[in-house]
Amino acid sequence: MTRALAVGVAGLGTVGAGVLSLLRQNADIIAARAGRPIAVVAVSARDRGRDRGVPLSGLRWYEDAVSLAEDAGVDVVVECIGGAEGTARALAEAALSRGKPLVTANKALLAVHGAALSRLAEQRGAALLFEAAVAGGIPAIKAVREGLAANRIGRVMGILNGTCNFILTMMRERGREFAEALHEAQRLGYAEADPSTDVDGVDAAHKLAILAAIAFGRPVAFDAVHIEGIRAVSALDIRLAEELGYRIKLLGIARRKDGGIETRVHPCMVPLAHPIARVEGVFNAVVAEGDAVGRVMLEGRGAGAGPTASAVVADLIDLARGRITPVWGAASADLAPVPSVPMTAHEGCYYLRLMVLDRPGVIADVTSILRDHGISLETMIQRGRAPGEAVPVVLTTHETKESAMRVALERIAALETVVEPPALIRIETL
């Protein structure tokens, strides 16, 4: 019988325990598809006594994850620790330095240190696989890197964070404000006690940086991603978006432009007719547009033990079969140093909500500022009268420059009749 592929798993949280469970539960079909059995032989975690819902007897245990990489009986290391620094980074470097394949679900590690890790993998002849790092169980990496390899990608985008998508869905369906919807997401286990990485857009930006590197054949550039989260989105904005024919989603968008590559994560108003507007709850979606294939969309669960473990084990099956692809789809030397386009160069349409005192001349003051900066209005909504009180005024613009909109917004915010910071959401026609 062909010798089993011996796996060491570092980190026994939701994903790590899920990998162990899936390898055992589906051992027969995994062995058939891998051409040999795949078995976990060693693990590393901090607390030996914790019940993880999966038997650990008979496995070699390492307190120090780096020691797991040094185990001569481990063929491949699976990193499920998380985080861009510390133990996760040390383990990744130790495994690759020893020429051992590394499978990781760690988007932060790859977004921040992916360029250096991929060079190390090439130097040592070790495979680095990370299907689980983007969109959980959706095979987004393989689809873009391998399935669309013959295409020149013009744009890749998507709903890349299930926590934010769940919160925005709750706000729309139940009319809740952000804080209430976040609390519900935490109660259900969809959001962490400290949700900032998710709701401030950082998690989605890590994933977008990885997708952009693969889609456009350039070194990963997390620092170039413009990042905004969803804390400022209100239930009122969501209701008004529906009236205007849009739905608010946190999107990650990477697009090829004349001056380079634009990468941005922020709330967007997307047309109700677009399929991505109907991706709800904790689901993710990834859309890629190629010159030969056109538009391709993948949708599914972006997190959780089962979906993420599914992606990890898919990488292990590839390793067992000897199917190895360069980390970013091409060797590091063949990646193009394509420049990043700053957010100030973005052009598009905008939704602007103002809370203003209901006084004569307020709208004229606002529209004159927009006119001064060459910003043309498409629609305006102002309902009811409340003399002397604050009322919402909603404006949408025709396509304009981000740089002009930012300067205009500063001037509008400084008006004494504007009583709250203006809310701005970009409109994506997609």
The pLDDT value given to residue 265: 98
Domain at 62, CATH number: 3.40.50.720
Q: In angstroms, what CA-CA distances link 11 with 20, 66, 185, 369? A: 11, 12, 24, 55
Q: 157 with 315: CB under 8 angstroms? A: no
Q: What share of the chain is helix, strand, coil (3-state, %, to 5)?
A: 40, 25, 35
> Do 47 and 107 lie in a common domain?
yes
Residues 6 or more apart whose Cβ sits within 8 Å of residue 177: 171, 234, 235
Which residue range is the domain that position 108 belongs to? 5-133
Domain boundary among 265, 283, 301: 301
- Cβ neighbour number for residue 39 with a 10 Å cutoff: 17
The pLDDT value given to residue 69: 94
Domain at 423, CATH number: 3.30.70.260
| Sign for the pseudo-dihedral over CA of 259, 263, 269, 274 | positive
The pLDDT value given to residue 88: 95
The pLDDT value given to residue 55: 82
Determine, yes or no, domain membership for 271. Answer: yes
Tokens of 256: 């090829």
Determine, yes or no, domain membership for 308. Answer: no
The pLDDT value given to residue 360: 85
Low-confidence ranges of the chain (pLDDT < 50): 1
Strands 260-271 and 423-427, sheet pairing: parallel
> Do 103 and 148 lie in a common domain?
no
Q: Does 107 qualify as catalytic in the annotation?
A: no
Total domain count, the chain:
3
- Which residue in 347, 344, 108 sits closest to 226, CA to CA? 344
Among residues 107, 207, 249, 257, the one annotated as catalytic is 207
Domain boundary among 86, 108, 133: 133
> Do 224 and 155 lie in a common domain?
yes
The pLDDT value given to residue 122: 95
Tokens of 80: 């499920």
Domain boundary among 115, 133, 151: 133
The pLDDT value given to residue 243: 93
Domain at 146, CATH number: 3.30.360.10
The pLDDT value given to residue 386: 72
Does this model's pTM top 0.85? My answer is yes
Question: Is the backbone of residue 381 left (phi > 0), alpha (psi -120 to 50) or beta?
Answer: beta
> Do 236 and 160 lie in a common domain?
yes
> Do 258 and 175 lie in a common domain?
yes
The pLDDT value given to residue 303: 81
Q: 225 with 234: CB under 8 angstroms? A: no
